[in-house]
Amino acid sequence: MNYNLTILKSLSSLSGPYSDNQEILRAYLQLAPAYLLLDGSHKTDPETGVSQWAMGFDRIMDVLAALHASSQLELLTVEAVRNALAECWSSSESISPTTVVQEKIKALAGRLRRLMDDPEASRLCFRSQPMDLDFLH
């Protein structure tokens, strides 16, 4: 399995603007935890598998940043990112090297944080809806 290649193929095959395909993006976000476990358990080089997974997730975050910049990012999509990262975080203990996995998840959560109404606020919101990122503790 390779989340990065899956995302590359998916993004290149989407018809129409990304704003019309957020449901598909959410489906790929739901698959992120399973891909992390599969890519992270790569027998010959787990660290490369984790890096490929993170690259795929980063590609989705690039699309979401563009949607956010044009005010087209949907709350459901932001919630899907948050849920995917929370699931990945909870399963990160079972993937070695754990610190590498957790650092990549923290970096992705940082990108999510920048999409919030006020990224520096102690209580994060997206379009005035509370968004909890406490799973990182």
Question: Is residue 41 scored above 80 in pLDDT?
Answer: no
Question: Is residue 43 scored above 70 in pLDDT?
Answer: no
Using alpha carbons only, how large is the chain's radius of gyration in Å? 15
Q: What percent of the chain has pLDDT over 90?
A: 75
What's the rounded Cα separation, in Å, for the pair 40 and 55?
Answer: 13
- DSSP structural state of residue 39: H
Ranges of each domain in the chain? 3-136
pLDDT for 13 equals 93
What's the rounded Cα separation, in Å, for the pair 46 and 50?
Answer: 6
Residue with tokens 């698959």: 31
